Amino acid sequence: MEVAKNTETTRTHAHLFRVARTVGLAFGIVVVLGKGSRGEVPEPMPGVSEAPIETAATEPGGPTPAATVDQSDATPTPAKKEKSPWRGSTIAYRNAVTAITIDRSAELTYNPFWGMALELAPRYAFDDVWSLAASLEIAREITEADDTTFADETLLGDLGLRLSAARFATIPGAKIDISAGLGLGLPTSKASQGDTLMFSLSPSLRLSRSFEDVLEGLSLGYTLGFTKLFHRYTTGELASPAIAGCTSFDLGSCDRFLNTGYRNASFRLSNGFDVGLDMTSWLSASASFAIIVSWLHDDVEDERVSNVTLEPTDERYALAADLGVSATWWKPLEVRLGASTINPQLRPDGGRYAPFFNRFTTLYLDLRLDVAALVQDLTSP
C-alpha cells in the first residue's frame, strides 16, 4: 500500500531553504554548507567557501626589520609564491537525508527525503580585504519529490553575487575583527519565480574574535544580516493553472487558481552566532545558531486571495542551527559530516517545533573542493 506523503512538510521545507539562502545564513552559520572553523572567513557569500585571510605582513614589499643586513653575506631566501586571486573558489557536492527518514514511525505519515546538490562557487580576491563571489546550486531529490513539476526533475537554485570586505578593521583592545558585505540575489529558480521575486539585496555586518592559544585555534562570531526582497506581487502566483473546465473564455471562475495567496516577505532580519574549534591541523568542529524574522507585505483585502489566517499575521519567525565536524587530510579537499535544521517557529496546529531536532532536520555529508588549492598542489614542483 502506498504511504501518503505530507505535501505541506515538503513545501514548507523547500520554502525555508530558499529563505536561508536569501537571508545569507552562511555569513552567520558558514558551517551549514560545509565550512569548518579552519580557514574561516568572516564574510562569505551564502554557499560560498572563502580562503583564509593572510596578514599584510606576509605580502612582498611589506614592513621590513629596522636593522639592516649586509646583502653580500646574506643567505638567499626562496621567493614566496604569489597568492592566486581565485583562492577560495570551490565546487561542493552534498548528500542529505532528513533525520525522520530513518524512522518510519516518527510521524503519522511517512515522507522520506534524500537529495543531492552540486554547488559552483567562484570567488575573485582583489586583495586581502576585498573579494567578489558568486554561487549557483543544482539540486535533485532522489526520493519521490512533492514540489517538482515532473518526475526526477533537477532544480536550479537562485544565483547569488556578493561583494565582501573581510576584516577591514579591528576594534582596539578587544581584538574583534569587523567585516561587511553586500549580496545580490537573482531569481533563477522556479520557486523564486513563482514567488514573483525580481531581486533581493542583502547587506550584512560581522564581528569575529580568534583565540590562537586554544588547541589549534578557537573562533567566535556574530553576524547581523538584513535582506530586502523586491517582488512584482505581494503574493506568489500560479501562472498557468491546470484546472479542468477553466478556460480563457471564463476567467471569472479561474481567478482563484491564478494566485496561491501565500504572502511574500518584504524584508528580513537575521541574527547569527557561530563557534569553531580547530582540534588538530586537519580536524575541526563548528556549531551555529540563527534567528530569522520576516516581515510580510501589507495584507490585501480581496475575496480572491485564499490562505487567509483567522488573525492577521504580519511576521514570520524561523530558527536555524548546524553542528558538524570537518576533516582536511588533503588541503584542496574538505570532508564534512553534520546535521542542520531550518524550521518555522510554529507548527500547523499552533504548537512549537523543537528548536534543534524536528521534522526539518537533515543529516548531510559534504565534499568541498578548493579549486585554486588543487591547481597549486598539482603545479607545485
What residue ranges define each of the domains in the chain, with the CATH number in brackets? 7-51+84-379 (2.40.160.40)
First to last CA, the chain: 62
Using alpha carbons, list the distances in angstroms from residue 153 to 6, 140, 146, 158, 241.
19, 7, 11, 16, 20
Averaged confidence pLDDT in the chain:
78
Question: Which of these ranges, 71-75, 147-151, 167-171, has the smallest mean pLDDT?
Answer: 71-75
pLDDT of residue 164: 97
Over residues 227-248, mean pLDDT: 69
Strands 130-141, 114-121: pairing kind: antiparallel
Among candidate residues 94, 98, 116, 115, the one with its CA nearest the CA of residue 107: 98
Phi and psi of 200, rounded to 5°?
-140, 150
Question: Which of these ranges, 8-17, 45-54, 145-154, 372-381, has the smallest mean pLDDT?
Answer: 45-54
Residues 6+ apart with CB under 8 A from 374: 332, 333
Over residues 83-106, mean pLDDT: 91
Model confidence at 36: pLDDT above 70: no
Q: How confident is the model at residue 33 (pLDDT cuts 50, 70, 90)?
A: very low
Model confidence at 338: pLDDT above 50: yes
Model confidence at 79: pLDDT above 80: no
> Among all chains, which residue has been given the C-alpha cell 527518514?
101
How far is Cα of residue 376 from the mean position of the Cα atoms in its chain? 27
Whether 226 contacts 202, CB under 8 Å? yes
Using alpha carbons, list the distances in angstroms from residue 95 to 98, 118, 193, 218.
11, 9, 26, 28
Q: Per DSSP, which regions of 187-332 are E strands? A: 197-211, 217-231, 235-237, 259-263, 265-278, 283-296, 315-330
Query: Which pTM does this prediction carry?
Result: 0.75
Over residues 339-363, mean pLDDT: 87
pLDDT of residue 359: 86
Beta-bridge partners for 286: 276, 324
Model confidence at 39: pLDDT above 70: no
Using alpha carbons, list the distances in angstroms from residue 8 to 67, 263, 293.
71, 16, 21
Whether 92 contacts 369, CB under 8 Å? yes
**Percent of the chain with pLDDT strictly greater than 90:** 50
Most confident stretch, 27-36, 106-115, 267-276, 343-352? 267-276
Return the amino acid letter for 130. Answer: W
pLDDT of residue 76: 55
pLDDT of residue 148: 79
Q: What is the dihedral of CA 273, 183, 82, 330, to 10 degrees?
A: 50
Question: Which of these ranges, 24-28, 100-104, 199-203, 232-236, has the smallest mean pLDDT?
Answer: 24-28
Model confidence at 46: pLDDT above 70: no
Model confidence at 276: pLDDT above 80: yes
pLDDT in tens, 160-218: 999 999 999 999 999 999 999 999 999 999 888 888 899 999 999 999 999 999 999 99
Over residues 259-273, mean pLDDT: 86
Quote the DSSP letter at residue 65. -
pLDDT of residue 19: 45
Whether 80 contacts 113, CB under 8 Å? no
Distance separating alpha carbons of residues 119 and 89, to the nearest angstrom: 11
Quote the DSSP letter at residue 299. P
Whether 20 contacts 137, CB under 8 Å? no
Model confidence at 226: pLDDT above 90: yes
Q: How confident is the model at residue 139 (pLDDT cuts 50, 70, 90)?
A: very high
Whether 101 contacts 110, CB under 8 Å? no
Model confidence at 10: pLDDT above 50: no
Model confidence at 53: pLDDT above 50: no
Whether 137 contacts 117, CB under 8 Å? yes
Q: How many other CB atoms are found less than 10 A from the CB of residue 250?
A: 9
Q: Of 206 and 5, which is predicted with more confidence?
A: 206
pLDDT of residue 310: 55
3-state secondary structure of 140: strand
C-alpha angle 238/146/190, rounded to 5°?
45
Identify the helix (H) or strand (E) that includes residue 334: strand 333-344
Beta-bridge partners for 275: 220, 287
Q: How confident is the model at residue 155 (pLDDT cuts 50, 70, 90)?
A: very high
Most confident stretch, 168-172, 302-306, 309-313? 168-172
Model confidence at 56: pLDDT above 50: no
**Percent of the chain with pLDDT strictly greater than 70:** 69
Among candidate residues 374, 325, 351, the one with its CA nearest the CA of residue 91: 374
